[in-house]
Amino acid sequence: MGRIVRLLGLLILTLVGVAEAYDELPTGVRPWLSYVEPSTNTDGSALTNLAEICAYWRVDVGLESKTCLPASSASGGASVTNKPLLDIVPILPGQKKTFQTQIVARAQTGIESGRSPQASLLVDRLAQVPMDTIPPPAPGTPTPGAPITGPSLYPPL
């Protein structure tokens, strides 16, 4: 049976307001993760079989999802800063929700470490109004850039 890896680093998410902590997309957001890969096993020996770092995440109290990112090497130890999560998290323009995540290290044998403490990020997109919620102009209101139609304003020559 393989040794269980120990996650030494904690997940750190940059706070909104200090720096952008996610990419905004029309269909959601892509959070950025920062963490330090483990480099030792639970018994203190050097890690030789780190396969990936996995993020368990959810939005508010929704269902939990899992996304895994490849480890820098089998021995780990890399400091990873602002690595985009591969998934697009469904927080749309016009919404304000909390993204929550915990990180685990996964060995090549499939064994996972314990989870890191939970980190949360408030994503506030209330000020962004989705285009499909903007009402059309009232009848008879000219659309900017549209050609003017109707009777001519000038008398015939």
How many domains does the chain divide into?
Answer: 1
Enclosing domain of residue 27: 22-122
Residue 1 in any domain: the answer is no
Residue 103 in any domain: the answer is yes
Residue 99 in any domain: the answer is yes
d(CA 37, CA 10): 9
For 130-152, the pLDDT digits (tens) are 555 556 667 766 665 555 555 55
Residue 143 in any domain: the answer is no
Strands 79-84 and 28-36: antiparallel
Question: CA separation (Å) from 42 to 5, 60, 85?
Answer: 6, 32, 27
Say if CB 97 and CB 109 are below 8 A apart.
Answer: no
d(CA 58, CA 66): 9
Residue 44 in any domain: the answer is yes
Six-digit token pair at 111? 């064994």
Residue 153 in any domain: the answer is no
Residue 7 in any domain: the answer is no
For 33-64, the pLDDT digits (tens) are 888 888 888 788 888 999 999 999 999 999 99
Q: 113-134 in b/e burial notation, b at 16+ Cβ within 10 A?
A: beebeebebebebeeeeeeeee
CATH of the domain at 58: 2.60.40
Question: Is the whole-model pTM more than 0.85?
Answer: no
